[in-house]
Amino acid sequence: MTTALYLKWISGFANAEGGVLVIGRNNDGEVVGVPNARRLLDDLPNKIRDVLGILAQVNLLGEEGRETIEIVVDPYPNPISCRGEYYLRTGSTNQLLKGAALDRFLLRKHGRHWDGVPLPGVVPADLDAGALKLFRRQALKSQRLSDTVLAEPDHALLEKLHLLEGAYLTRAAVLLFHAEPDRFFTGASVKIGYFEDNANLRSQPFNPDLANAFFRAGLIEAWGRGIERILEACASARVPRPDFRYESTGLWTEFSFPPQPEPGRQAQVEAQVQAQVEAQVALTDRDWDVLMACGAGESSGKDLALVAGYQTRTGNFKKGLQQGLQRLADLDLVELTIPDKPTSSRQRYRITPKGHAWLAAHLA
């Protein structure tokens, strides 16, 4: 290894959690010695200071009659570059950071995150009024923002959601509420993964401002409740519990799925489900609307009344919607969240696994 390479490794340790670099051992940990150990002992501290701008403890050690160099590197809160490049010690490797990885690293070192970066040239008036209205409606339904906050002007609401940085909107604000976010970000999209056998998911909020907005709208749950709800959902669906493990990169969740049928068999199963839906059930358009609303999340009777086009829960509601709900329940497509208290004020309706299958077949 050359001095330039030593400096890259020291930069990687400083940008990670610190560490000890030993010069004079091979990959098996055996002592092979350093011929120029005493010269390195004099040169390295100055090189580390002048090139990296940090201090490190450099020690000369003698083992098995051979000399080695030990470099003790502390972790640094600010990013440390090596001649304009940034390295990060990851596992047993020293990674040169580029592109999005470098952006995330620099933002994190400065106590920021990607979605919180201000975006010049965009003002609240440029945002989509319909998107903001939909957010207010969803947040009102979830009851995760007060009526007072939701009644405030757009500028005040955005400030409450931490989507303003001084006079500028943040990236999160534009992604959430602008009609054309791809004008500002190449490839702006929501990614949904499909796994044919096992799924490994890592829990780490890279963009907390986006996550906060989704939480306030009732579209995701709070950080910290996920494992409990995952276990409840697995028990309800009668599928194996996932395995959880924590690593330095975050919390990993591994789901085990049964083997999937062959492509031809899968098409046959889907065709059978479609035929069952069409042959056995004549659901009305209103029934499908209610089923889709339940598929989007637990819904109250009042919510479903609005979806079905009723203004109140009297008269036509009881004759129409309740009959439709009973029909869906009899077919095991929807169920009550509090089955032992049907008239509870906290009662909600949710879709069943069978309902999901029928809805997927209907929309296919």
- Letter string b/e over residues 72-95, b meaning 16 or more CB atoms within 10 A of that residue's CB: ebeebeebbebeeebbbbeeeebb
| CA distance readout (Å), 249 to 221, 230, 246, 252 | 21, 21, 8, 9
Cβ atoms of residues 242 and 255 within 8 Å: yes
Question: How many alpha carbons lie under 13 Å from residue 174 in its C-beta half-sphere?
Answer: 23
Residue 279: per-residue pLDDT? 42
Q: What is the DSSP letter of 221?
A: P
Cβ atoms of residues 250 and 203 within 8 Å: yes
Domain ranges of the chain: 3-109, 116-183, 263-363
Phi, psi dihedral angles at 362 (to 5 degrees): -65, -35
Cβ atoms of residues 324 and 290 within 8 Å: yes
pTM of the full structure: 0.46
Residue 249: per-residue pLDDT? 59
Q: Assess if CATH 1.20.210.10 describes domain 263-363.
A: no
What six digits make up the tokens of 281?
Answer: 């059930």
Reading the chain (364 residues) residue by residue, the pLDDT tens digits are 688 999 999 999 999 999 999 998 888 888 888 888 888 889 999 999 999 999 999 999 988 788 999 999 999 989 999 999 999 998 889 999 998 788 888 888 888 888 888 888 899 999 999 999 999 999 998 888 888 899 999 999 999 999 998 889 999 999 999 998 888 887 665 554 455 555 555 555 678 888 889 888 888 776 656 677 788 888 887 777 888 877 655 667 887 766 655 656 666 656 656 655 554 456 777 888 888 888 878 888 877 777 776 655 555 555 666 777 888 888 888 898 888 887 888 888 888 888 888 777 766 5
Residue 130: per-residue pLDDT? 93
Measured distance CA(16)–CA(87) in Å, rounded: 9
The domains spanning 3-109 and 263-363 adopt the same CATH topology: no
Q: Which CATH class is domain 3-109?
A: alpha beta
Residue 283: per-residue pLDDT? 75
- Three-state SS for 159? helix
